[in-house]
Amino acid sequence: MIGRRSSADNTRQYLYADKGYVDGDREKRFKATALRVHIQRKAPKGKQLSDCQKRRNTRIAKTRVRIGHVFASLGQMGGKGLRCIGLDRATLQLNFKAAIYNLRRPCSLKTGGINPAFAF
């Protein structure tokens, strides 16, 4: 799966991964497939991360948490478990779940005190 492009026009692919994926050989393989690797860094045993590495980890974590919240919300709506026959019906159900998430998101932002520009 990693290294496959979704389309020929898409020339930039980003890989965001957890600290557990830190490995020099693995990162070289990812970079060889033209992926831009964004993996958080772990501190060596008994040492602290530098300020630069802490800022990098924070920047990566901000993107990962936004993506993680979307999948967590879809998981609360039943996840990938579908009760239908056929790829077209399954795709439709997942599209409905995504649409419901997109409709619920402005509501949750408003209750949190944030007024998004596209909210009703």
Same domain as 39, residue 66: yes
Same domain as 62, residue 17: yes
Band of pLDDT at residue 75, cut at 50, 70 and 90:
confident
Same domain as 107, residue 71: no
Average pLDDT, rounded, for the chain: 79
Q: Which pLDDT value is given to residue 11?
A: 63
The values of phi and psi at residue 10, to 5°, are -80, 105
Q: Which pLDDT value is given to residue 114?
A: 74
Residue range of the domain that includes 98 = 80-113
- Indicate if the pLDDT at residue 8 is higher than 70: no
- Indicate if the pLDDT at residue 56 is higher than 80: yes
- Could you tell me if residue 118 is inside a domain? no
Sign for the pseudo-dihedral over CA of 34, 39, 45, 47 = positive
pLDDT tens digits, one per residue of 13-37: 777 777 776 677 877 777 787 777 7
Same domain as 66, residue 84: no
Q: What mean pLDDT comes out for the span 87-96?
A: 89
* 3-state SS assignment for residue 78: coil
- Could you tell me if residue 45 is inside a domain? yes
Query: What's the structural domain count of the chain?
Result: 2
Q: Which residue has better confidence, 104 or 3?
A: 104
Q: Alpha-carbon distance 64 to 109, whole Å? A: 19
Same domain as 94, residue 38: no
